[in-house]
């Protein structure tokens, strides 16, 4: 078995889809796995045996029910709504192995742990519910009669990231697209092209080749900019590029210009559409293309509008980001984990800036090696997948993590990792705010390592009254830009009352008005993302007839109905935008 890899820009390669109906078996007692918790028994369900009426076989995928892939299992069958644990997936497929080609099986995401078996061979394992992975299956495919079995386990554990408690539904399963991709023996697995800060229109980067000899040549073309350059691969597999094209138009929210880039390396070629821009910090300002920008944002979960469940499709991305546009927003925080790649692709096209986060959320096993390794892996996979998206300007390493010395060591390691892997973007975190009476102090020690501070505060909902907000003063000992990364309150769509009536649209709208009054007076504020775009399912929200397992802090209901607060925010952003 090999460790999975991750092919950058894989969604632009020709692919054979394995989406659709997969047979599944729910296995709460881990019967098909075997006794060793870390190692599956290959004679268990992975074997994909069939009951023939004579031999004793106590499972059979072929006669088991089906789940749609992509899709979480919880929202597809009523009896799986609350299920957390092991589920087995199986699909038969044809794929003729092609001479001289390598084949990868791509998973957009599997929440939370996946073990993949193809034709009786254990091909890879992956942990982390929101990032993609690619397993090589070249040597196990047959001309006919292939099958893939995936054991997906979403049990929460104290040492995973996230850990035992989150304020969102633990949607399990093969939640994003699955496909097969053929590549030549020597292929491009990664590339990065970025404008260098402070160097005019100088583009720098690399194309990384697997399976090629040092000295092999490859070309990079950007036809619209008359770029046609050759470079050679070094010992490390990288071919480096550095050039300053004439007439470059920079990517920006009001002009999200993307260029078609074409990479040709031997028999492999890869196209992408990418934008070029710089993002940096100067004092307490965020500069996009050298100019200060105010981030008119909102948070969103990857919750599918209208139908519910985990979002994954182009249509989900169109709806969610379409609402951000309708708000006159130019920024979105993809809370609290990497969202489907359709989101960042669409943000690139629409000109919406992105805060992208890993699920280091609330309490984590700060001392354990496993949690740190998993968080680093998820961060690396997130950066690798999206490091050519102009829309992504911020990597966030965590959300609302209570202060402790161990937590600081852990999170600093993630900040260092993000800086090392991507020196062209900014690193942030949504921090808990230290309140001293009506003074809010941004003195979390992690702030010293961040480029941009994020602060979550719920004045008017979890503490005090809505009208308290404008009475607060904010102190920023770090002289760094602040994004007010969460604030808001709950409202059930259609529930009306006085401005102090909990869960009324009026109270939520009042919280928004008072918060905006406070925010407009904070001099170092560089942007904000209220909580949250749309209501989302959460096991912690139990109030009957109001919450019914939904966090109701959306400015839009899960059925797509806009609440009063939506229009308060829309007015505010419209004025800022014009
Ligand atoms: C927070 C969390 C977010 C919750 C939200 C709430 O601070 O970051 O995940 O959903 O508050 O509604 O309480």
Q: Is the CB of 167 under 6 A from ligand 1?
A: yes
Of 531, 539, 543, best ligand 1 pocket probe by most atoms within 8 Å of the beta carbon: 531
Query: Which atom number of ligand 1 is nearest to the Cα of residue 538?
Result: 10
* pLDDT, position 496: 98
Where do you find CATH 2.60.40.10 in the chain? 198-276
For residues 45 and 47, give the distance between their C-alpha atoms in angstroms, rounded to a whole number: 5
Q: Is the CB of 457 under 6 A from ligand 1?
A: no
Of 486, 535, 550, 554, best ligand 1 pocket probe by most atoms within 8 Å of the beta carbon: 486
* pLDDT, position 408: 98
Q: In 10 A of CB 303, how many CB atoms?
A: 27
Assigned CATH for 198-276: 2.60.40.10
Query: Which atom number of ligand 1 is nearest to the Cα of residue 335?
Result: 9
The fraction of the chain above a pLDDT of 90, given in percent, is: 97
pLDDT band, very low/low/confident/very high, at 97 (cuts 50, 70, 90): confident
Q: What is the mean pLDDT of residues 319-331?
A: 98
* pLDDT, position 302: 98
Q: In 10 A of CB 517, how many CB atoms?
A: 15
Average pLDDT, the chain: 97
Q: Is the CB of 133 under 6 A from ligand 1?
A: no
Q: Tens of pLDDT along 125-149? A: 999 999 999 999 999 999 899 999 9
Q: Tens of pLDDT along 342-357? A: 999 999 999 999 999 9
Burial class (CB in 10 A: 0-12, 13-18, 19+), 168: buried
Where do you find CATH 3.20.20.80 in the chain? 280-577
48 Cα: distance to centroid of ligand 1 (angstroms): 42
345 Cα: distance to centroid of ligand 1 (angstroms): 26
* pLDDT, position 465: 97
> CA 16 → CA 67, 126, 182, distances in Å?
19, 21, 9
Q: Is the CB of 456 under 6 A from ligand 1?
A: yes
* pLDDT, position 546: 98
Q: Is the CB of 316 under 6 A from ligand 1?
A: no
pLDDT band, very low/low/confident/very high, at 199 (cuts 50, 70, 90): confident
pLDDT band, very low/low/confident/very high, at 525 (cuts 50, 70, 90): very high
* pLDDT, position 431: 98
Query: Per-residue pLDDT for 73 more than 90?
Result: yes
In DSSP terms, 150 is beta-bridged to: 89, 116
Query: Per-residue pLDDT for 182 more than 90?
Result: yes
Q: Which CATH superfamily is domain 10-182 in?
A: Galactose-binding domain-like (2.60.120.260)
Class of domain 280-577: alpha beta
Query: Which atom number of ligand 1 is nearest to the Cα of residue 399?
Result: 8
Q: What is the mean pLDDT of residues 28-43?
A: 95
521 Cα: distance to centroid of ligand 1 (angstroms): 24
For residues 361 and 163, give the distance between their C-alpha atoms in angstroms, rounded to a whole number: 8
Looking up tokens 């480029």 gives: 451
* pLDDT, position 33: 98
**CA-based nearest residue to 24, from 59, 50, 61:** 61
Q: Tens of pLDDT along 233-274? A: 999 999 999 999 999 999 999 999 999 999 999 999 999 999
**CA-based nearest residue to 169, from 303, 69, 79:** 303
167 Cα: distance to centroid of ligand 1 (angstroms): 6
The yes/no answer to whether this complex scores an ipTM above 0.90 is yes
Q: Is the CB of 422 under 6 A from ligand 1?
A: no
Q: Is the CB of 551 under 6 A from ligand 1?
A: yes
Query: Per-residue pLDDT for 200 more than 90?
Result: no
């Amino acid at each position: 078995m090999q460790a999975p890899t991750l092919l950058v820009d894989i969604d632009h390669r020709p692919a054979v889809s394995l989406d659709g109906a997969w047979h599944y078996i729910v296995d709460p007692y881990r019967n098909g796995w075997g006794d060793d918790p870390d190692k599956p028994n290959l004679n268990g369900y992975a074997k994909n045996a069939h009951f023939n009426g004579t031999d004793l076989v106590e499972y059979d995928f072929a006669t088991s029910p089906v789940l749609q892939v992509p899709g979480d299992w919880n929202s597809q069958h009523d009896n799986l709504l609350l299920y957390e644990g092991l589920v087995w997936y199986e699909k038969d497929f044809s794929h003729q192995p092609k001479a001289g080609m390598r084949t990868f099986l791509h998973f957009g995401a599997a929440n939370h742990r996946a073990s993949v078996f193809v034709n009786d061979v254990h091909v890879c394992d992956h942990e982390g519910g929101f990032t993609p992975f690619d397993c090589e299956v070249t040597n196990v495919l047959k001309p006919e009669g292939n099958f893939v079995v995936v054991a997906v386990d979403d049990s929460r554990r104290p040492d995973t990231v996230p850990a035992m408690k989150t304020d969102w539904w633990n949607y399990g399963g093969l939640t994003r697209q699955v496909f097969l991709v053929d590549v030549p023996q020597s292929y491009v697995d990664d590339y990065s092209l970025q404008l260098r800060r402070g160097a005019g229109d100088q583009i720098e980067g690399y194309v990384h080749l697997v399976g090629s000899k040092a000295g092999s040549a490859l070309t990079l073309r950007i036809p619209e900019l008359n770029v046609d350059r050759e470079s050679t691969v070094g010992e490390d597999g990288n071919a480096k590029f550095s050039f300053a094209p004439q007439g470059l138009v920079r990517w920006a929210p009001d002009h999200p210009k993307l260029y078609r880039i074409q990479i040709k390396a031997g028999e492999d070629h890869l196209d992408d559409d990418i934008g070029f821009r710089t993002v940096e910090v100067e004092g307490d300002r965020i500069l996009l293309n050298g100019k200060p920008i105010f981030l008119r944002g909102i948070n969103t979960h990857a919750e599918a509008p209208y139908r519910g469940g985990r979002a994954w499709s182009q249509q989900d991305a169109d709806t969610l980001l379409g609402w951000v546009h309708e708000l006159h927003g130019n920024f979105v925080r993809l809370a609290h984990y990497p969202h489907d790649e359709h989101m960042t692709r669409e943000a690139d096209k629409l000109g919406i800036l992105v805060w992208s986060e890993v699920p280091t959320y609330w309490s984590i096993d700060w001392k354990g090696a496993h949690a740190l390794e998993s968080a680093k892996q998820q961060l690396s996979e997130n950066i690798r997948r999206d490091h050519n998206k102009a829309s992504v300007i911020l990597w966030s390493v965590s959300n609302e993590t209570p202060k402790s010395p161990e937590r600081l060591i852990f999170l600093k390691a993630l900040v260092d990792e993000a800086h090392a892997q991507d020196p062209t973007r900014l690193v942030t975190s949504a921090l808990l705010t230290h309140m001293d009476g009506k003074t809010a102090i941004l003195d979390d020690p992690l702030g010293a390592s961040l480029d941009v501070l994020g602060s979550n505060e719920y004045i008017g909902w979890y503490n005090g009254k809505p009208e308290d907000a404008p009475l607060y003063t904010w102190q920023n000992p770090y002289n760094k830009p602040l994004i007010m990364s969460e604030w808001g309150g709950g409202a059930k769509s259609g529930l009306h009352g006085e401005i102090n009536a909990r869960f009324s649209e009026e109270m939520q709208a009042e919280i928004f008005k008072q918060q905006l009054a406070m925010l407009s007076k904070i001099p170092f504020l560089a942007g904000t993302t209220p909580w949250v775009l749309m209501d989302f399912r959460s096991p912690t929200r139990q109030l009957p007839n109001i919450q019914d397992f939904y966090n109701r802090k959306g400015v839009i209901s899960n059925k797509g109905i806009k609440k009063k607060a939506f229009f308060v925010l829309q007015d505010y952003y419209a004025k800022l935008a014009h």
